Amino acid sequence: MKLFERLRTLTGGAAHDDGRVIKANARRVRKAVFPVAGFGTRFLPATKAIPKEMLPIVDRPLIQYAVDEAIAAGIEEMIFVTHRTKRAIEDHFDRAAELERELEKGGKDEMLAELRSVTPPHVRFSFARQTAPLGLGHAVWCARHLIGDEPFAVMLPDDLLDGEPPVLAQMVESFQRSGASVIAVENVRREDTMRYGIVEPAPDSGSRMTRILGIVEKPQPEKAPSTMGVVGRYVFSPRLLDCLENLEPGSGNEIQLTDGIARLLAKEPVFAYSYVGKRYDCGSKLGFLEATLEFALRHPQLGMEFQKLVNRVADAPTQDETAASARGARHLTLVSS
């Protein structure tokens, strides 16, 4: 059976001849939740006083890339689940009237436009507090009063996703067509399954949309049901919030979003979505550096000069080569003497 026909059966949507499926009562996704209350310990000491999400990828903080992706997907309200140490995030998404006046007086129009683009007038920024690090599921639960009874996205800024169209826009379109919750996935190495939520896919799935039969948090490689790892983009029906209520702590003694999704599977279909794009794991130092390197190379003002810098560094001898050369020179000196 074709995927769109299965979706029509499972969700009550109306299928078009070209394969598009429209859920009759699917509402527009207007809100996105950003869980940003973590301590960022992998980046200490840099994150002792600065939120990890505010560390820059070239000239924009990491959190800004996720917000820009959400805006491109039509999201109108950004909901940040923060901690008392994350005030810099709130300040970043507030208007800086004094700075704007200074830029305006100085005739720095391009810089002023860039600054104002951080907080578009049609977008609302809301904040909730997670007072204790009780897990991703708990963080989403903390935003329930702001989400209300409507579909919503969850975005983890550590995963910088670069896609065209933007990855969340791809997922929102899939949600609008099917009416079913959608989770972004990518194929991971089996030895890395213990770092991801792993889905159990249905055997007869489509090329990008795969019905999920089960999901488990960070399984050992020999116990993983597949190598389809969950990455930090989700679009949920509001029923997920019911599934997070009274949820017992799971892996790591935390309230896991994965366990809430497992509950949701018993109530309605949930699909894995193999997105088009590239993921940078900015929760790791190496992934953060990779993103910085690639985004700097494509920067409209810095790209060409940065490429020259990269070439010079690549052509320079390594420390090991320099040390070997020095040892060789000393050896020749001793022999000649």
Per-residue pLDDT tens over the stretch 233-284: 999 999 999 999 988 887 777 889 999 999 999 999 999 999 999 999 999 9
Distance CA 177, CA 151 (A): 13
Q: Under a CB-based contact definition with an 8 Å cutoff, are residues 153 and 32 in contact?
A: yes
CB 233 within 8 A of CB 160: no
DSSP secondary structure letters along 206-266: -SSEEEEEEEEES--GGG-S-SEEEEEEEEE-THHHHHHTTPPP-GGGS--HHHHHHHHHT
98 HSE (CA, 13 A, CB side):
0
Residue 305: is its pLDDT beyond 50?
A: yes
Nearest alpha carbon to residue 219 among 197, 201, 202, 238: 197
Share of the chain above pLDDT 70, in %: 86
Q: Which residues contact 73 (CB under 8 A, 6 or more apart)?
A: 29, 32, 153, 166, 168, 169, 171, 172
| Encoded amino acid at 228, one letter | M
Q: Is 76 exposed, middle or buried (0-12, 13-18, 19+ CB in 10 A)?
A: middle
According to the model, what pLDDT value does residue 205 have? 64
CA 295/CA 116 separation, integer angstroms:
21
Considering only 7-16, 52-61, 161-170, which range has the smallest mean pLDDT? 7-16
Give tens-digit pLDDT for 99-154: 999 998 899 999 999 888 898 989 999 999 998 889 999 999 999 999 999 999 99
- Does residue 43 register a pLDDT over 90? yes
Rounded-to-10 torsion of CA 319, 282, 40, 42:
-30
Per-residue pLDDT at 5 exceeds 90? no
Banded model confidence at residue 336, pLDDT cuts 50, 70, 90: low
Q: What is the pLDDT of residue 9?
A: 43
Of 172, 173, 199, give the one whose Cα is nearest residue 186.
199
Strand partners, 35: 81
Degrees, nearest 5: CA angle 92-147-75: 55
